Every structure is written in structure tokens, then in C-alpha cells.
Structure 1
Amino acid sequence: MNHLLRSKRVLVLCGAGGVGKTTTAAALGVAAARAGRRVLVLTIDPARRLAEAMGLSENGSEPTTIPTARLFSDGPPGPGRLDVWMLEPGLVFERMIHHLAPSPEAARAIIEHRFYRFLSELVAGVQEYAATEALDGFLHDARYELIVLDTPPSRHALDFLDAPGRLSRFLDERIVSLFGPEEHAHGARLWRGAQALVGRVLDGVFGAGFTREMRAFVGAFGGLFAGIRLHTERLRTRLESPEAAFLLVTSPESAALRETAFFQDTLVERGLPFAGYILNRSWARDAALAHPEALLEHVGDDAHAEHGVAALARLAATEHARAESHRTLLARLAEQLPSGAIAVAAPDAGAELEEFSGLVRLGEALVVG
């Protein structure tokens, strides 16, 4: 894990909902920053206690910088830096409009149009597209050496991976031309007839003038299509390159493991750089659990004490069995890894994560795991 944190430009964390993916992303960001890198963690919707532990601003327009005194509270400050930003899809999409529009006036004409809300909800209102667009933008920000992306839950994994391609298909000229200005329509009589048919249907459903208004909006938006395609193609190339790595966060629960197996297959099929597993909330590293029967030599003839030790022994046997089961699971995950990938166990940090120091300890555990 230490090699990934020191050498990669992008770490993408994927996994089922509820496995601690967002917390793991934050802990890896903390570890990388403490190791000296300038890090940005892009997160979707952190739990309240995690957001409070990191001092994360809700709906902030810019990343929140973790104070150096908090990041290095246990020693002298280092050169590393940690910023965190909670993705706001509408803000991401609006910034893209301003960046790609030929002028501020053109950007305002798009954003203030009543159809813009429909389009932004269709495209940027989904977390998956916001994640890809924000990632593309920050990859060109010289402030950051490493970006850790916390993706939506894996039931939306294909949506995240397909977001650039899905947008490109939405913006395909053959579809857009149905709503483009009439003077720019294809010369073929059949296509002009299709435009007229679409116009009559939409005007009949939404009222007279709808198609004309839609054409005006598409005309204003049309100049951005090439730039959006460039963004999506560029990001796909970056995610397929050796500078990126995908980590699958899972837990010992069977449902999470099934999701992880499905997602690994997806990554391999698409040729994306699968870097390994993080088995979260695991007892796999608890190899040195003490056995309470050692207390018997101290209880003497006290029957109540013997009864208490016996109860503790039964509980300890359950815990030992769980730890052994998790170690077996971790070994099984490691067996199916491609060359160079890793399988790391992360402990269940529990209430420790209510404090930033808990993220520090979790990050350290992941690095040495």
C-alpha cells in the first residue's frame, strides 16, 4: 500500500455501500499526506462524524484544507498537505459550463435557460458524472500530487465507469441534430422529416413552442459538445494508465464480497488497473489475542471467579474463530490477485473515527498492513 500512496496520481476506491469505503479513502489520504505528498480526497457523502472529524465544510465551493497542526499533531510538521472536498454535482457541472463556453455571456445564457435544470439533473445531477468531471478538473491542478476518489456504492459502479461514454452518447450529433436549428439540419429529406415528427410530438405533449425553445437551447449549448467529449475521452485515458489504481474495499460480509467479485471482473474486462483489495472491519490481523484461561491461576477456589473466566473463555473462542475466518478470507482474496496487486486487512476502528487521530491510526494500519 505504501508504494501505491507514494507513486500513483489517482487512487479510485470502489465498493458496496456500508463497507467503510469513504472512511478508508480519508485514511489513505491522511497517510499519504503524512508521508509528504500533496493530497486531495474527493468524497461523495461522508457520514456526519467523519465530516466533523475532518472539519469538512458542507457544500463548500472549494476543497477544505486540513490544518497542519491537526495533520501532524503527534510530531513535527512535514511537507505534506491534505485537502478534502465533498462533491456538489450542480456546482461541478456549472463550472464546466463556464470553462467551456466561449464567453461569460454565453455561459449565462445556458445556465439561465429553463432547460438547463433539466439537462443538469439528467447529466450532472448524478453523482457518477460529477465524480468523473471533478476528477478530470483536479488532475490538471498542480496543487495535488495524489487524488483519492471515493466513488458511489458499487451497485452504481458501471454508471461511474460509463459516465463519460454515456454522456458522449447523449451528445451524439445524430441525436442532437434532431433538436438543432432547422437551418443546420441534415440535407436528407428523411432526416428533416424526422425532425418535423419529433417537433410535432413534443409540441403536442409539452405545448406549442416547446421544440423551438429546445432548438434555441441546443444551439447555445452546442459549442460545448466537443469540449465535453474531450474531457470524457481524456479522463478515460487517464484511468486506464499506469498512473491510476483501483482499490476494491470490502468487508467479511457475504453480500459485500459478492459485489466485490462482480466489480473485479468488470475492472479486468475493461482493462482498468486493478491494484487489490482492502478487507475492512476485519479481525484478520488480531493473531495475538490473549486467552482468558490464563487467569485461572489467579482465581484460587473462588467459584464465581471461575465461572466468570469460563464465560470469558467462551467469548474468546468465538473471537479467535472469527479472526481465523477473516485470515482465511484474506488469504483467499490474495490467491485470486493478479501479479503486483495487494490484499490488506484494515481493523474495525469503530468509535476511534470520531476523532481525527483515529483516521491517522487507520491510515498507519493500512500502510503497514
Structure 2
Amino acid sequence: MSARNLQKLLRDKRVLVLCGAGGVGKTTTAAALGVAAARAGRRVLVLTIDPARRLAEAMGLPESGPEPTTVSPERLFANGPAGPGRLDVWMLDPGLVFEHMVHRLAPSPEAARTIVEHRMFRFLSELVAGVQEYAAAEALDAFLTDDRYELIVLDTPPSRHALDFLDAPGRLSRFLDDRVVSLFGPEESSRTGRLWQGAQALVGRVLDGVFGAGFTREMRGFVGAFGGLFAGIRLHTERLRQRLASPEAAFLLVTSPESAALREAAFFRDTLLERGLPFAGYVLNRSWAHDDALTHPEALLEHVGAADLHAEHGVAALSRLAASERTRAEAHRALLSRLTEQLPRDAVAVAAPDAGGDLEEFSGLVRMGEALAVE
């Protein structure tokens, strides 16, 4: 399929979610697509998990920050006229995301301060499994509610469970509503009975003995305060599901030619289809599928003497290397063709070149974005 379809995604969608195994270049691909969309005139936010240091430096991204970082127009539109597009980048920080969530959902600023200033708050991310997935879900929902950006590109965690970010807010609610955690709920809870009250008292005595007097009371106060946010968490969980299942969203699977990465991509594809989410296709990263114009070193012999044995040996070595490269390019083109055959209607399979160290500079991201989203 033509890369023109990928360009259409960048032009028309509101949110683009990239999934894939670790080590396939998913974060770099997300950055390159964000660059391409911004250079094409859109206001773009790239939400990333943990970019490599050189990639972060190339995009001017600090290690952490409370707000997205804007890529300067001089960098975004280098060697060309500045356009109307804008590119912001933010590396997800679960602690900051949780704090933003509390301020957004709490009934008052005073209630929010009660939660975030509580010493138990800093342990919350350690208590809840899948904290990166939750941070991705919460941040995405918050920015979709804000009309600052026309396109949001989400780089999901490098895990087979990356799509769990759709369920993470619900897991948080269930965790805090679980019977074990509810041991710290109000003593006049609807679950009360003599046996349950006895269990609460026993747990309180044990934990106070381990962590110090007053620990149970402190924990009970925190769970009670946080429990007031449940309704808001559940509401935006459903809202996010609806948005990501709508025509304004698209999921791209990033893979490489390696068999393990392809198996992960197949898993993600099946999961998306089972969930009824809009699967937009594949990006075959680090690929030679586009290299259909490899040179033939034998032509060099026309420019050297027939008796030049050193040149003949050199050309023979180059010929073996070129044959290996042509074989690899043919295999990758066949792989891209197989991926295309697996696509639903209107999805796309696009090859991204193996750019190597070029992607350590912002100009490399520009070139990769142009290769993926060429007109």
C-alpha cells in the first residue's frame, strides 16, 4: 500500500496510539510521525514513556517537567520556511500525572491538597500494578479533553500488556475498593459486622506495631479521601474507551523484521480486533523493503584495467555484500507484502528505513517522518 494512507492518518486523526514490543524503535517512530504532522501544519503532542537519551536531546526534551516541552520553530522548520504547525513533547511522569488527576477530579482545591500532601500519596504508584499504563491513560484523557492539540501521538509502554492502559483506571478503582484495602475504610462501612470489625482492629494493631502508632488511622484517612475520586475515575475510563473506539482514533503497530517482534505485533493486532479498536496497520521499522535500487559493483570494473587484480578482488567482495543486501531487501519486501495481506480494509503497511545513527539528530527524525508520510 502507498504511504499516502499514513499521511492521511496524520492529517485526519485526533489520536494515534503506537504499540509494539520493546526495542523495535516505537518511541522513535512516534517522534518522527509527530514531527511529520507538525511540519504539515498541525498542532501535535507526542506523549512518550522513556525516550533514549540521544532521542530526548534531539527533540530538546528535558528529563522531566510539569508541562509539555515545545520544540522550537527553528528546530522544527530548519532549512525551510516556518509553518503554522507546532510540536510539543512530554515524557510521562507517573507522579506528576497522578497529581494532575487528583487536582482535576477532587471536589475542591482543599480536598486535592489533603490527598497530594498526604505521605501515603507518594507510595500509591508502588501499590498499583501497571503504573505506566495508568499514567498513559490518564494523560491521554486529560489532553483529549483539552483542545490545545489537533493530534496526540501516544507511545505506549514497551510491554505485551501495553493495551492494559485502557483498563488501568478501572484497576485503580478496583484496587482501592478491594476487600483487603477496604480494611482501611471507615469503620462504619457497609461491610461492617462483628467479624469484619474484628479483622479491621487486628490489622490496625499489627500495622501500628510495625509502622508506628497512628499508621492505620493515617491510612484510613487517605483511602477515605481518595475514595471520593472513584466516580470521576470511572467516568473518564468510559469516556476514554469511547474516544479510542471512535473514528477519530487509530492504532498503529510498530514492528521490526525479527520473528519475536512480529509475534508481538500479531498479538497486538488480535487484541485490537477483539476489543473493536481501530487497527490502522503496521510500520515495519528498520527495514530494507524500500531499497529496490541497490547498485551492482560489477559496473566498477569498466573503469579499471583488466589486469588490476586488487580492483577485481575488491569488486568481488563488494559484489558478495551487495548480493546479501539485495537478498535481505527482497525478504523484507516479501514480509511487507505478507503484512499487507493481513490488513483489514483501509489499513496500511509502511516500511521505515533502517536509519541507524541518523536518528540521533533532529534532521534524522525529519527524514524518517517524510519517508513514512510522503505525499
Range moving further from structure 2, 216-225 or 199-208? 199-208
**Equivalent residues in 2 for 1:110-149, closer than 5 Å:** 110-123=115-128, 126-149=131-154
- Tell me how far 1:325 sits from its aligned partner: 0.4
Q: In the aligned structure 1, how far is the partner of 2:272 from the partner of 2:205?
A: 44
Aligned AA (2:347): A
Is 1:248 paired with 2:281? no
Q: In the aligned structure 2, how far is the partner of 1:245 from the partner of 1:154?
A: 19
1:330 corresponds, among 332, 336, 339, to 336
- Tell me how far 1:74 sits from its aligned partner: 2.8
Q: In the aligned structure 2, how far is the partner of 1:351 from the partner of 1:159?
A: 32
**Deviation string for 1:268-313 (max 9, x for gaps)?**
1111111100000100000011111111222222111111111100
TM-score, with length taken from structure 2: 0.92
- Tell me how far 1:138 sits from its aligned partner: 0.7
CA contact (8 A) 1:90 1:124 kept: no
User: Residue 114 of structure 1 aligns to a residue in which SS?
Assistant: coil
Is 1:259 paired with 2:264? yes
Root mean square deviation, CA, Å: 2.1
- For structure 2, the residue ranges without an aligned partner over 5 or more in a row are 1-5
- Tell me how far 1:322 sits from its aligned partner: 0.3
Q: In the aligned structure 2, how far is the partner of 1:59 from the partner of 1:125?
A: 20
Q: Count residues in correspondence.
A: 369
Q: CA 1:198/1:273 → structure 2, altered by over 3 Å: closer, same or farther?
A: farther
Q: In the aligned structure 2, how far is the partner of 1:125 from the partner of 1:163?
A: 7
TM-score, with length taken from structure 1: 0.93
Aligned AA (1:252): P
Range moving further from structure 2, 156-165 or 86-95? 156-165
Q: In the aligned structure 2, how far is the partner of 1:203 from the partner of 1:56?
A: 44
Q: In the aligned structure 1, how far is the partner of 2:42 from the partner of 2:336?
A: 29
- Tell me how far 1:154 sits from its aligned partner: 2.8
Q: In the aligned structure 2, how far is the partner of 1:347 from the partner of 1:256?
A: 16
Q: CA 1:122/1:251 → structure 2, altered by over 3 Å: closer, same or farther?
A: same
1:98 corresponds, among 82, 86, 103, to 103
User: Residue 120 of structure 2 aligns to a residue in which SS?
Assistant: helix
Aligned to 2:158: 153
User: Residue 159 of structure 1 aligns to a residue in which SS?
Assistant: helix
**Deviation string for 1:140-181 (max 9, x for gaps)?**
222100000011113332433331231232243766644221
1:27 corresponds, among 32, 38, 42, to 32
Q: In the aligned structure 1, how far is the partner of 2:163 from the partner of 2:252?
A: 15
Aligned AA (1:128): E
User: Residue 50 of structure 2 aligns to a residue in which SS?
Assistant: coil
- Tell me how far 1:354 sits from its aligned partner: 2.2
**Equivalent residues in 2 for 1:267-286, closer than 5 Å:** 267-286=272-291
Q: In the aligned structure 1, how far is the partner of 2:317 from the partner of 2:125?
A: 59
1:317 corresponds, among 296, 320, 323, to 323
Q: In the aligned structure 2, how far is the partner of 1:366 from the partner of 1:190?
A: 63
Aligned to 2:86: 81
**Equivalent residues in 2 for 1:195-210, closer than 5 Å:** 195-196=200-201, 198-199=203-204, 202-203=207-208, 206=211, 209-210=214-215
- Tell me how far 1:97 sits from its aligned partner: 1.2
Q: CA 1:132/1:151 → structure 2, altered by over 3 Å: closer, same or farther?
A: same
User: Residue 75 of structure 1 aligns to a residue in which SS?
Assistant: coil
Q: CA 1:83/1:43 → structure 2, altered by over 3 Å: closer, same or farther?
A: same
Q: In the aligned structure 2, how far is the partner of 1:326 from the partner of 1:59?
A: 38
- Tell me how far 1:222 sits from its aligned partner: 2.2
Is 1:359 paired with 2:365? yes
Q: In the aligned structure 2, how far is the partner of 1:89 from the partner of 1:140?
A: 19
- For structure 1, the residue ranges without an aligned partner over 5 or more in a row are none
2:346 corresponds, among 340, 346, 349, to 340
Percent identical residues: 83
User: Residue 345 of structure 1 aligns to a residue in which SS?
Assistant: strand
CA contact (8 A) 2:130 2:168 kept: no
Aligned AA (1:110): I
Aligned to 1:172: 177
CA contact (8 A) 2:46 2:155 kept: yes
- Tell me how far 1:132 sits from its aligned partner: 0.8
User: Residue 78 of structure 1 aligns to a residue in which SS?
Assistant: coil
- Tell me how far 1:191 sits from its aligned partner: 5.1
